[in-house]
């Protein structure tokens, strides 16, 4: 009789078991819906460089992966938050600015963060927070030095050496380290007699515009005066406006002034010669510069059939302010007719040259004059003889 109550107890528990089974089924159903609720939290942002150092005015570029670990495609709103003032940024993907990025399940997309360090900024660490949906990526930029509102004028080659007739050409770089576009007036405190000009490309300029945190290349040409002495000449240059200015000093080293003049000993440029005869003249080579002339060659150009020679043909050296003499021998052609002829003489060194032109008058030979006289006398004598012999008849 005692077993009956036991069977009755099991039957009485059956409704409770049924309720428990239904509850478990409902719990499983709810658990199966949980991944969809988690999808909004399945986004991860990644970049390998989360802390960088940069100077004022620098541009920093981050490549950030947006990873979707959920089971569904996500529309991810992206942005950047910071408490740092005056920093400029741009979020791009595919070369365009974006605010929302679609990422398929199990895949990733890459976006680029371009961050501009202000020119006027204090030294220190600055934090930024890139957001992608509910995900966040902290970044830190360590500014290595305090920024300034200034301009810079520099030259990689500020010292040039050349001869007195050289055009000294310098290349300078003007950098605008301010937060605004600047137009600079250009000026030079050049030595007396020097001609200093500024050029951009092939154009001569007196001012130049430079964008913020950008630079422009300027060519500075300095031409010394003709009579400049050997020495070192500083050339200060300046770029300025009402807000900012910059300056630097260039230096031109003049090694010497080369000058050469060719003349005759009596400064006359004319002479005469008989046909087939010769004439000797003294010529003078003068060093009119401040540097020594070496290996001065003497050459000529003369009519066909004429001969022109020098003794010596080459002058080894001529010191500054000194002279050297040579003799030129001019022999005319035996077939030259009476008249004026031009003979060019030249003196040249590796650095300088000069020339002159002689007017040479060719005169008929005296021998032909005497022959003419003899012919006249002979004709007269013949006539006189004929007259005496046949005149009486």
Q: State the CATH number of the domain containing residue 281.
A: 2.60.40.10
Q: Is residue 224 part of a domain?
A: yes
Q: Is residue 78 part of a domain?
A: yes
- On whether both 65 and 115 belong to a single domain, the answer is yes
Specify whether the CB–CB gap between 155 and 215 falls below 8 A. Answer: no
**Close Cβ partners of 102 (under 8 Å, ≥ 6 residues apart):** 73, 74, 75, 76, 109
**Sheet architecture: strand order including 278-287:** 260-264, 278-287, 323-331, 307-311
- Output the pLDDT for position 393: 54
Is residue 11 predicted with pLDDT exceeding 80? no
Residue-wise pLDDT tens digits, 313-366 = 999 999 988 999 999 999 999 888 888 999 999 999 988 899 999 999 998 766
Q: Name the one residue in this structure whose structure tokens are 């949906």.
A: 133
- Output the pLDDT for position 16: 55
Mean pLDDT on 190-207: 95
- On whether both 362 and 266 belong to a single domain, the answer is yes
- On whether both 264 and 250 belong to a single domain, the answer is no
Number of domains making up the chain: 3
* CB atoms closer than 10 angstroms to residue 229: 12
Residue-wise pLDDT tens digits, 144-164 = 888 778 899 999 999 999 988
Percent of the chain with pLDDT over 70: 87
Domain boundary among 96, 122, 143: 143
**Summary mean pLDDT of the chain:** 86
Residues 301, 348: Cα–Cα separation, whole Å: 14
- Output the pLDDT for position 237: 97
Residues 272, 362: Cα–Cα separation, whole Å: 6
Domain, as residue range, for 223:
150-254
Q: Is residue 375 part of a domain?
A: no
- On whether both 218 and 277 belong to a single domain, the answer is no
Q: What is the CA radius of gyration of the chain?
A: 50
Statement: the pTM of the whole predicted model exceeds 0.95: no
Residues 170, 154: Cα–Cα separation, whole Å: 11
Is residue 3 predicted with pLDDT exceeding 90? no
Residues 239, 183: Cα–Cα separation, whole Å: 9
Domain boundary among 143, 163, 183: 143
């Amino acid at each position: 009789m005692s077993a009956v109550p036991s069977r009755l107890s099991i039957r009485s528990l059956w409704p409770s078991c049924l309720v428990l089974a239904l509850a478990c089924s409902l719990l499983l159903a709810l658990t199966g819906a949980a991944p969809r609720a988690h999808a909004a939290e399945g986004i991860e942002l990644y970049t390998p460089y989360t802390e960088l150092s940069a100077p004022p005015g620098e541009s920093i570029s981050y490549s950030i992966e947006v990873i979707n670990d959920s089971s569904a495609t996500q529309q991810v709103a992206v942005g950047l938050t910071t408490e740092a003032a005056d920093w400029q940024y741009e979020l791009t993907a595919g070369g365009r600015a974006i605010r929302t990025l679609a990422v398929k399940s199990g895949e990733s997309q890459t976006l680029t963060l371009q961050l501009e360090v202000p020119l006027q900024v204090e030294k220190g660490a600055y934090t930024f927070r890139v957001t992608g949906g509910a995900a966040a990526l902290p970044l830190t930029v360590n500014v290595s030095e305090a920024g300034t509102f200034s301009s810079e004028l520099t030259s990689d080659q500020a010292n040039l050496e050349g001869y007195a007739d050289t055009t000294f050409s310098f290349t300078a770089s003007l950098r605008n380290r301010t937060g605004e576009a600047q137009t600079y007036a250009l000026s030079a405190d050049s030595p007396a007699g020097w001609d200093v000009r500024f050029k951009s490309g092939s154009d001569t300029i007196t001012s130049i515009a430079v964008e913020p945190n950008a630079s422009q290349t300027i060519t500075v040409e300095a031409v010394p005066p003709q009579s400049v002495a050997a020495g070192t000449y500083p050339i200060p240059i300046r770029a300025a406006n009402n807000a900012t200015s910059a300056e630097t000093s260039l230096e031109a080293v003049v090694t010497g002034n080369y000058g050469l003049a060719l003349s005759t000993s009596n400064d006359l440029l004319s002479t005469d010669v008989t046909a087939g005869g010769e004439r000797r003249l003294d010529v003078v080579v003068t060093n009119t510069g401040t540097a020594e002339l070496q290996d001065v060659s003497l050459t000529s150009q003369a009519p066909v059939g004429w001969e022109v020679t020098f003794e010596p043909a080459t002058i080894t050296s001529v010191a500054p302010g000194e002279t050297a003499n040579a003799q030129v021998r001019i022999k005319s052609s035996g077939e030259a007719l009476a008249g004026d002829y031009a003979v060019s003489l030249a003196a040249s060194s590796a650095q300088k040259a000069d020339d002159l032109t002689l007017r040479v008058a060719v005169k008929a030979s005296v021998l032909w004059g005497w022959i003419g006289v003899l012919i006249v006398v002979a004709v007269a004598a013949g006539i006189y003889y004929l007259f005496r012999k046949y005149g009486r008849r």
